[in-house]
Amino acid sequence: MKKEIEKRIKDGWINSWMMIEAMAMTEAVARNALEKHIKKMENEEGVIVYEKKFGEAKRIEKPFANIKEAYSQVVELLVLTRNYDKLLYIVMNYAPSAIEILEPAEIILKVGEAQAIANSLAALIHKFAAAGAGGIIVSS
């Protein structure tokens, strides 16, 4: 796998570390949700999750005003993405709590890729607005 990772990076893929957290009412539900979430990410075209480290679930008292207790679990991932647009797609759709780009040291975007990223962000904002969960306020 190491040679495959090195080849992909040499071919322009982006190597990142990510941490994703799930919180649920039970340990089992938190773990199951996190595993399903990562499995879905692994099935994305242009994405290779090559390492997963699941942490222990931790009980959290009063995570929110109306919730007595919940369980939080994190997973740390090492992920290759085909390009920067795909990396941002993963960030927008899988919501890591933290991300660090490990390689390459420099990313150069072609105008088409920058345009695709801008359109992806615009689509996300419209998705939230359509769901009644926010959007952009246009002042008059």
Query: Model confidence over 40-62: pLDDT tens digits?
Result: 999 999 999 999 999 999 999 99
Rg (CA), the chain: 18
Looking at per-residue pLDDT, the higher value among 117 and 7 belongs to 7
Is residue 136 predicted with pLDDT exceeding 80? no
DSSP character at residue 115: H
Delineate the domains of the chain, giving CATH numbers in brackets.
2-104 (3.30.70)
Task: Kindly report the pTM of this predicted structure.
Answer: 0.83
Higher-pLDDT residue of 78, 114: 78
pLDDT of 64 reads 85
What is d(CA 90, CA 63) in angstroms, rounded to the nearest whole number?
A: 26
| Residue keyed to tokens 């190597």 | 15
pLDDT band at 140 (very low <50, low <70, confident <90, very high): low
Comparing CA positions, the residue from 74, 62, 57 lying closest to residue 21 is: 74
Q: How confident is the model at residue 96 (pLDDT cuts 50, 70, 90)?
A: very high
